Structure 1
Amino acid sequence: MNKTFNKSIKSYGKFLKSYLRLGFTFSNDLPNMDNGRRLPEDEKLDKDVRKNLNNPNSNVGAGPDPTSENKDLKEEAILSPGKVAVKNFFRNPLGVIGLIMFVAIILLVFIGSAVLPFNQYYSQGNLTNVAPGGAYMNFPKEMEKEGSKKISIGNTFAVGLTNEDNVYIWGSDNEDKVLTVPSEVKKALQGKKVIDVAAGDRHILVATEDNEIFGWGNNSFEQTKMPPMQENQIKTEGIEKLGAGVQYSVVLTKAKNLVVWGSTMASRLNLIPSEVQGKVEDFDTSPINMIVAKTDGTVQLLGVLGAENQTTMPKKLTDGTVFVKKVALTSSSAAAIDDKGKLYVWGPSRDQISGANVPEFEAPIVDIQGADTTFTALDENGKLYSWGKDNYGELKTPDGEFEQIYASYFNQYAVDKEGNIKTWGLNGFRFGSDDQGRDIFTRLIHGGRMTMIISLISTIIQVVLGVAIGMISGFAGGRVDNILMRVSEIISSFPFYPMLISLSALLPPGASQTQRITMVMVLLGLLGWTGLARLVRGQILAERERDYITAARALGVKNSQIMIKHILPNILSIVIVNATLAYAGNLLTESGLSFLGFGVQEPTPSWGNMLSAAQSSEVLNIYWWRWVFPALAVFLVSFSVNLIGDAIRDAIDPRANER
């Protein structure tokens, strides 16, 4: 027993010795011992400890560094839930991508609609279904090097003849492949001198020195081929001048006779009066008319008569009072220059071309050219003047001294004294044109503004109704909860699209566009709040039993203040997430309604009715740009908003994905 006691005393003594020397520690942290003897590394450790204790700059035994502690506290400071959510949101790359995409679309749509001029009633029959592209006026440099003899302009292209008798074609191609010269035409033109060229709306003609005519492009009415009935006449009399219009072609022979062929049934332009034949000095074309300057100095209009370009023609131009040398036509107005350089312009006042719209000229006019809605004149000093309707930049005339001018359809060319060519007018459609010749890009921008505003307002209505009804139902409980939830179930049980279409049909036939748009917004809001109301109600049921609500009631706070000031901020995150997703859904719904013909109606654009106009198989297969760009716009907005909504949800509740 004494041995056992002595052994215990020795063991306890070793413990006290160890405690006094090192302090109490866990066994894993004890220095290495070997039968009570200190190892060399232990001695080294003791020396380091004593050295640090004697060093005043040492941090050993002095507690934590206050500088690093403050830094850690700053980094780990408690942030407000809003700041935490924002921080989490911007850590989500998909959310940031969605936000950037959505903001970019909003800026493009709303700034673009404020900057881009837009007339929803404007259409242009000569520019229907034009493919996306540009460079309509990017002429080859050889036109300047070789010198320009003539430039003739089509709707999206042009053809030029140089002083070296070379033919060049440029612009944007169309379904008629007008920029591609057929191999048989190339073969036929080999070794022959081209003396004249002409461009119609969608076809090109060239005339050779042996009085042959070759053409390509649209040939719906045989307008690219020499007419068999008049072929001998043309070859016998010789070709003085070529011309072309909308699907028809014209030749002025050296015997002062006109030959017209192609699409002339409606205009009867092929029926040239006998008092005109043999007396034609000059002519110009429009879609349904031709104007002729005769050898006796008088003017005569051919084709569809009775319009203001005939009825308002100055009498002195037809009775021989003045001698006319040059004539020109727009789509519905006319102009003539007499031998003294005086210009006469007439036509409907709506064209903004005649009367007070004609500019003051500094010198006599030597040339006049007509485009679709504008005239361009050249005075003897080489100065240019353009006036009319500026639909595609046709009035942006360059400064300088010029010798030649060419204009037709929507483009103008001017050649200065050094042979340099200046151009202005339509240079292409970024996203193509639709079946009425309207720019799809412009309609996409203005239609996007309409679609996004409708979606926004309908979402606001949904959120206000859903939050209000959900909060009242959840907080009040009992009979009120029962009634409101049954009403929401009844509304949500209705088939959504059939219900919207049925209610849309209640509008009177003469309802204005504003009434129709208002109806769409209200219906989307009234029928779409039920899901949010049920979600809010569930959150209210959970929140109203919490301690802070009990405390507020004990303090006598009114129920309305409890709901608005205490409960609503705690469920706001859920409302925001739901609102973003509802916005994307409303955008798709509005597009679907307009697509079905029950939303925004033409001519007011929206992404939905732009898609509605592109339903046919022909459009889907050939004119792809009419549906691809509106569909892509709807997809990008919906996709970006969904990315934002998902990122907000994850930012507010980071553990949602783990659950």
Structure 2
Amino acid sequence: MSKKNSSAKRSWLGRLFFGGSKGLADDIEAKRAAKNDVEEIVSPVKQIVRGFMERKLAVGALCVVIAMFLLVFIGPLFMTTYTDTYTEVTQANLPPTMSMLSVPSELKNDIKMIDSYGSFSVGLSNAGKVYVWGATGLGTTGIDVADIPEEVQNEKIAWVAAGIDHIVAVGENGKVYAWGANKLGQYGYFDPAVNPNIAPEPDELLNGTIDASNIKKITCGYQATAILMNDGTLYMWGNKNTYQNFDTVATLDGKLTDIDFTLNYVVAVTDGNSVYTGKRGLYDQMRDNMGSATVPLREFLNGRKITSIYATSKTVCALLDDGTVGFVGDFDTSSKAMPKLHEGEEIVKIVSGTYHYTALTSEGRVFSWGSNTLGQCKVPDDAQGASDIFGGAFQSYAVDSNHELMGKWGLKGYLFGTDNYGANVALRIIQGGKMTMTIGAIAVIISTIIGIIIGCISGYFGGKVDMFLMRFTEIFGAIPFLPFAMILSALMAQMDISENEKIFILMVILGLLSWTGLARLVRGQILLAREQEYVTAAKAMGLRESRIAFRHILPNIVSVIFVTLTLDFATCMLTESTLSYLGFGVTYPRPTWGNMLNGANNSTVIKNFWWRWLFPAIFLAITCICINIVGDTLRDVMDPKSDRDK
């Protein structure tokens, strides 16, 4: 190897102490000449773009920033069912999962029944095997309902049902099994002296057996379970505080023919056509569809008998002996109405979820109605022609005559989990990012306008004007930014103003407190530029001072302003997030990345519900880092004195 080439290949450590030598310079010059035989003349803008595109890290950061902007500003347009105030107690603090519709492969071809109430589902095959899927961990308890007891695995099971935190199964031998949480007497032995509001599981179920072939229905509610026999015998136990009429159901006259749970009441019907719905006024008016006018319950029945009832969280559906369907309860006005049946077509089976119903007709048609917030009512085409249907909290399943799964629809899961209100963290991150970026952008615009005006006037006119404006700037700069913003936000919290007004004032505060750095920067650039020849020529032509400052000098320093604006945008986003995190910014239920982190600001959440703080923190960190990378790169490529080859 020649001496020249050796110099060119000299390591960075050697060049640090001995320099690159003439050989290295010749090598660099040769590469430039080989790349461009003729010197190319390009415009400043093109040169900036070319210089930026040569920085792979900066290009990647810009792509991330653009993608983030598209996600948070265009994404909400497709979130048609999203609301800031959405809550769902049965879905609170669920980890990231997309397995809520993932029926185990062993069960798909031999389905006997499927049931769910909360975040997990339980299925039973015709062979008597039990399967559990979905978000099966129970919060901070350490209990996983997917851990099926060995005695259940070894027994042929005839019935299964799922509650919000427990599962009940009955073997063909008549023994009742249960697993999951039992803190409130969901199953197993419980001493009523400890808590009189807990109805213990009947002793004949704990220590004996029942006739599994005589069971008419098993249903689980919120921390409660009911088993209804064909002869009208009812076994019901669990948390009585959850259901206001828990004890009264057992005293109803006549033989019980069906029973179910709403979120707060037990609903029941007897063979004497006595309907017990637990709350007068809400459940004593019936309608033939959710959007139809209501009529008194007895008048609607008109001698017809209710054969079965199905309950969602706030409503009850009754199937009458002539195939008619009636509804009572508190229906959401946005709920999807029940489709019309064909002439001669009857409903043969109904299943209910938390907010929706699914029905199978005599023609094999399957349809769902009610709330469609989580896709519960989007019945796929492959579900039509089913022989049986099963329902979960937010899912539905269609099965053919061979007990094979035909179609499934509803909630698949949550990509980033849920918060303590059951809201989808991914959707709140998108909506919160829109708010965080909007506040940051408006604050930067305000600070940029103020900084440019003061900096231009101060730098161009100088003298007493410069002295006054710079002292004014120093006064603002001396204000401790974060404490002052916290004080103003705390004062706003005491004012009788709307959340929108509070957000607007927050943007103004951020803008008014963050312009000083830009003003000094613009002043310095103006002081340099005003001595240039083109400024002297403009003065000689008699142009107004304001025109010279803002129309001639300012455009020549716009690159510096643009870089500062980019960096300040990330700073304002961080400041808003900091204020919201500390509880002084935008408050719940309106999301921002900052107040989402504020909601995770305790040791229990940090340890057990990591997804609630991790994903908002990742989005905030990546966005701010990428914006800073873009800003730093723009500063480098816009500076004509920078030499990237050094």
State TM-score, norm by structure 1. 0.83
Q: Does 1:446 align with 2:428?
A: no
Q: How does 1:25-424 map to 2 (within 5 A)?
A: 75-117=38-80, 118-146=82-110, 148-175=111-138, 177-182=143-148, 185-186=149-150, 188-189=151-152, 191-225=154-188, 230-232=202-204, 235=208, 238-239=211-212, 240=215, 241-268=217-244, 270-276=246-252, 279-302=255-278, 305-306=279-280, 308-310=282-284, 312=286, 314-316=296-298, 321-350=303-332, 357-362=337-342, 363-399=345-381, 400-421=384-405, 422-424=407-409
Q: Does 1:521 align with 2:497?
A: no
Q: Give secondary structure in 2 for the equivalent of 1:350.
A: coil
Partner amino acid, structure 2, of 1:195:
A
CA contact (8 A) 2:201 2:238 kept: no
Supply the distance in 2 between the matched residues of 1:635 and 1:655 (Cα, whole angstroms): 31
CA contact (8 A) 1:317 1:324 kept: no
Supply the distance in 2 between the matched residues of 1:352 and 1:96 (Cα, whole angstroms): 45
What residue number does 1:28 align with? Answer: none
Which of 484, 487, 495 is the equivalent residue of 1:499?
484
Supply the distance in 1 between the matched residues of 2:335 and 2:464 (Cα, whole angstroms): 73
Q: RMSD of the TM alignment (CA)? A: 2.5
What's the CA shift string for 1:54-83, capped at 9, x where partnerless?
A: xxxxxxxxxxxxxxxx99998413322222
What residue number does 1:27 align with? Answer: none
Q: How much does 1:630 deviate?
A: 0.8
Which of 619, 628, 641 is the equivalent residue of 2:627?
641
Q: How much does 1:273 deviate?
A: 3.8
Q: Give secondary structure in 1 for the equivalent of 2:339.
A: coil
Supply the distance in 1 between the matched residues of 2:528 and 2:259 (Cα, whole angstroms): 85
What residue number does 1:594 align with? Answer: 580
What residue number does 1:21 align with? Answer: none
Q: Does 1:611 align with 2:597?
A: yes
Q: Give secondary structure in 2 for the equivalent of 1:134.
A: coil
CA separation of 1:318/1:167 partners in 2, compared to 1, >3 Å: closer, same or farther? farther
Q: How much does 1:591 deviate?
A: 0.6
CA contact (8 A) 1:178 1:218 kept: no
Q: Does 1:650 align with 2:636?
A: yes
What's the CA shift string for 1:566-590, capped at 9, x where partnerless?
A: 2112211111111111001000001
Partner amino acid, structure 2, of 1:648:
L
Q: How much does 1:616 deviate?
A: 1.0
What residue number does 2:22 align with? Answer: none
What residue number does 1:12 align with? Answer: none
Partner amino acid, structure 1, of 2:378:
K
Which has the higher mean CA deviation after the structures are superposed, 405-414 or 629-638? 405-414
Supply the distance in 1 between the matched residues of 2:136 and 2:498 (Cα, whole angstroms): 40
Which of 465, 472, 476 is the equivalent residue of 1:487?
472
CA separation of 1:488/1:540 partners in 2, compared to 1, >3 Å: closer, same or farther? same
CA contact (8 A) 2:312 2:352 kept: yes
Supply the distance in 2 between the matched residues of 1:93 and 1:229 (Cα, whole angstroms): 66
Greater Rg, structure 1 or structure 2? 1
Partner amino acid, structure 2, of 1:292:
A
Supply the distance in 2 between the matched residues of 1:75 and 1:563 (Cα, whole angstroms): 38
CA separation of 1:340/1:408 partners in 2, compared to 1, >3 Å: closer, same or farther? same
CA separation of 1:77/1:141 partners in 2, compared to 1, >3 Å: closer, same or farther? closer
Structure 1 portions without partners, runs of 5+: 1-69
Q: Quote the sequence identity (%).
A: 35
CA contact (8 A) 1:178 1:216 kept: no
What residue number does 1:19 align with? Answer: none
Q: How much does 1:551 deviate?
A: 2.1
Supply the distance in 2 between the matched residues of 1:260 and 1:576 (Cα, whole angstroms): 69
CA contact (8 A) 1:323 1:338 kept: yes
CA separation of 1:299/1:127 partners in 2, compared to 1, >3 Å: closer, same or farther? same
CA separation of 1:657/1:501 partners in 2, compared to 1, >3 Å: closer, same or farther? farther
Partner amino acid, structure 1, of 2:332:
R
CA contact (8 A) 2:254 2:272 kept: no
Supply the distance in 1 between the matched residues of 2:570 and 2:153 (Cα, whole angstroms): 61
Q: How much does 1:311 deviate?
A: 5.3
Supply the distance in 2 between the matched residues of 1:574 and 1:457 (Cα, whole angstroms): 19
CA separation of 1:277/1:415 partners in 2, compared to 1, >3 Å: closer, same or farther? farther
Q: How much does 1:237 deviate?
A: 5.2
Supply the distance in 1 between the matched residues of 2:266 and 2:399 (Cα, whole angstroms): 26
CA separation of 1:406/1:462 partners in 2, compared to 1, >3 Å: closer, same or farther? same
What's the CA shift string for 1:273-301, capped at 9, x where partnerless?
A: 45437712222222222222323344322
CA contact (8 A) 1:463 1:579 kept: yes
Q: How much does 1:317 deviate?
A: 8.3
CA separation of 1:91/1:73 partners in 2, compared to 1, >3 Å: closer, same or farther? closer
CA separation of 1:358/1:346 partners in 2, compared to 1, >3 Å: closer, same or farther? farther
State TM-score, norm by structure 2. 0.85
Partner amino acid, structure 1, of 2:236:
V
What's the CA shift string for 1:108-160, capped at 9, x where partnerless?
A: 112211112221122111110010111211112332323x2211113222111
What's the CA shift string for 1:581-624, capped at 9, x where partnerless?
A: 10010000011111122221221111111111110110111101
What's the CA shift string for 1:237-271, capped at 9, x where partnerless?
A: 53513221111122223542222222212424541
CA contact (8 A) 1:336 1:344 kept: yes
Supply the distance in 2 between the matched residues of 1:367 and 1:639 (Cα, whole angstroms): 56
What residue number does 1:475 align with? Answer: 460
What residue number does 2:444 align with? Answer: 459
Supply the distance in 2 between the matched residues of 1:416 and 1:315 (Cα, whole angstroms): 36
Q: Give secondary structure in 1 for the equivalent of 2:276.
A: strand
CA contact (8 A) 2:130 2:153 kept: no
Supply the distance in 2 between the matched residues of 1:484 and 1:601 (Cα, whole angstroms): 36
Partner amino acid, structure 1, of 2:339:
P
CA contact (8 A) 2:597 2:616 kept: yes
Q: Give secondary structure in 1 for the equivalent of 2:283.
A: helix
Q: Give secondary structure in 2 for the equivalent of 1:520.
A: helix
CA contact (8 A) 1:524 1:586 kept: yes
Q: How much does 1:648 deviate?
A: 0.4
CA separation of 1:424/1:592 partners in 2, compared to 1, >3 Å: closer, same or farther? same
What's the CA shift string for 1:444-476, capped at 9, x where partnerless?
A: 101101111111111111111111110100111
Q: How much does 1:494 deviate?
A: 0.7
Q: How much does 1:549 deviate?
A: 1.6
CA contact (8 A) 2:350 2:357 kept: yes
Q: Give secondary structure in 1 for the equivalent of 2:277.
A: strand
Structure 2 portions without partners, runs of 5+: 1-32, 191-199, 288-295
Q: Give secondary structure in 1 for the equivalent of 2:397.
A: strand
Supply the distance in 1 between the matched residues of 2:153 and 2:575 (Cα, whole angstroms): 60
CA separation of 1:75/1:125 partners in 2, compared to 1, >3 Å: closer, same or farther? farther
CA separation of 1:166/1:479 partners in 2, compared to 1, >3 Å: closer, same or farther? same
What residue number does 1:434 align with? Answer: 419
Supply the distance in 2 between the matched residues of 1:297 and 1:366 (Cα, whole angstroms): 20
CA separation of 1:216/1:277 partners in 2, compared to 1, >3 Å: closer, same or farther? farther
CA separation of 1:326/1:537 partners in 2, compared to 1, >3 Å: closer, same or farther? same
What residue number does 2:14 align with? Answer: none
Supply the distance in 1 between the matched residues of 2:299 and 2:313 (Cα, whole angstroms): 20
What's the CA shift string for 1:407-433, capped at 9, x where partnerless?
A: 232111121234332211111001000
